[in-house]
């Protein structure tokens, strides 16, 4: 299966050549990798002032939700034996998850 066709509105018409120091390009590549974007798309978004959200943050958000579910399960299975511990842990997870969600919504 080949690459899907790009419609005319998505085609890039102009090419720009830019030179970087080796260490600058390495840093840009690391940042692009962290966001799961190509270097070109990363630079394009930065240059146009678009916010960039790290894909790692989205994975962390998913993991926080999973851990919260596990803590709720522990709470139910133990009939609240560890209610203070599970409550504080769930609140901490929810707080951090909400912060990540606000950041994601503000950057997309």
Residue 103: pLDDT band by 50, 70, 90 thresholds?
A: low
Domains of the chain by residue range: 16-52, 55-107
Q: What is the mean pLDDT of residues 97-108?
A: 68
Separation between Cα atoms, residue 19 and residue 57, nearest integer Å? 30
Amino acid 94: pLDDT: 86
For the stretch 24-73, pLDDT in tens is 999 999 988 888 888 998 999 999 998 787 777 778 888 888 998 888 88
Query: Hey, how many other C-beta atoms are within 10 angstroms of the C-beta on 78?
Result: 11
Q: Say which residue, 107 or 99, is predicted with more confidence.
A: 99
């Amino acid at each position: 299966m080949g690459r899907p066709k790009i419609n005319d509105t998505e085609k890039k018409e102009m090419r720009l050549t830019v030179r970087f120091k080796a260490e600058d390009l390495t840093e840009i590549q690391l940042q692009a990798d962290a966001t799961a974007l190509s270097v070109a798309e990363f630079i394009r978004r930065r240059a146009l002032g678009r916010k960039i959200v790290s894909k790692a943050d989205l994975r962390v958000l998913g993991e926080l939700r999973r851990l919260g579910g596990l803590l709720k399960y522990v709470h139910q299975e133990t009939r609240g034996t560890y209610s203070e511990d599970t409550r504080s842990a769930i609140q901490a997870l929810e707080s951090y998850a909400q912060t990540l969600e606000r950041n994601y919504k503000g950057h997309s």
